[in-house]
Amino acid sequence: MGPVNLIDGRRGTAVLVASRRNHKGAVILVPRAADADPEPVPFSNAIELLSTQHIIDIVCMQERLFGDGGLKPPPELAQG
């Protein structure tokens, strides 16, 4: 999905792969020490690191992409 500012000042990346029913449907790649690969943390475990705005961004986009409630995906992601 894209970069997210963590409330401890680090910059992570949100990755959306499945619906909210899947525990790992949204993952935050949290940076670790230099030269180490980022740690993939399931959204529900990373939620305390995220601002309210980023939580809304992530959950709404996940619902639009993978939910069955009728919300439409962004036009640029709707095709294919």
The residues that touch other proteins, with contacts defined as CB under 8 A, are 47-48, 50-53, 55-57, 59-61, 63-64, 67, 69-75
Cα gap 8→59, rounded to integer Å: 21
Cα gap 54→35, rounded to integer Å: 26
As measured in angstroms, the least distance from the Cβ of 59 to other proteins is 5
As measured in angstroms, the least distance from the Cβ of 17 to other proteins is 19
As measured in angstroms, the least distance from the Cβ of 10 to other proteins is 17
| CB-neighbour burial class of residue 19 (10 A; exposed 0-12, middle 13-18, buried 19+) | middle
Give whichever of 37 and 48 is closer to other proteins, judged by the CB atom: 48
